[in-house]
Amino acid sequence: MRSAVLVMLSVTMAVLHPDSALASAEPPARSLDRLVELVADRLDTADAVAAAKWATALQLGTQPSIDDPGREAKVYDDMARLGAERDLPENWIKQVFFGQIEASKIVQRGLVVRWRFDPAAAPAAPPDLSKVRPEIDRLNVDIVDQLAARRDELAARDCAERLAPSVFGVLSSGRVDALHQAALVRAATTLCVA
């Protein structure tokens, strides 16, 4: 929890106070960029997942169901097994993927609300989830690989400070909208070893 608060605080301080030491100091080494990019890429898949859930709900005449406990449990179990193969603590892996899933839900819920108010903005041809899920699965594996490769940095006391420039780099890139920015911060808060 302490790491999550530090990540959010570091990113917020850099955004709100660009003249602060964090923002104005020499750019730190950003060895966590690849991990943060993978997290952002995973969040990008949330749009397709939301579109598929939206289309399914329209066909059934129901409300989209964002939660998918069965799929979520499978992700936790699969990633915990993969993490164990890389000698990573199960509780950390589950913490990280809880953050990824919750961040994805932020995007999905945000899009569903947008489409309720503006149905014309909803995708006309939703993607096939059977094509999106392999991409999510690949990104999950890549994230675990980065957790293993960067474990020492992510377990360091200054993890939040190391992570913040990489997160801020994506936030300020113009690549992500406000909804995805909020989700990225949520996902990043779980990356440091608790």
Q: What is the DSSP string of 91-155?
A: HHHHHHHHHHHHHHHHHHHHHHHHHHH-GGGS-SSPPPHHHHHHHHHHHHHHHHHHHHHTHHHHH
First to last CA, the chain: 7
CA distance 35 to 27: 18
The pLDDT assigned to 171 comes to: 96
pLDDT tens string 27-75: 556 889 999 999 999 999 999 999 999 999 998 999 999 999 999 999 9
Q: Spell out the domains of the chain, with CATH numbers in brackets.
A: 1-18+76-194 (1.20.59.10)
The pLDDT assigned to 20 comes to: 42
Which candidate, 132, 125, 117, 95, places its Cα nearest to that of 1? 95
Q: In this predicted model, which residue has the larger pLDDT, 9 or 147?
A: 147
The pLDDT assigned to 10 comes to: 56
- 138: pLDDT strictly greater than 60: yes
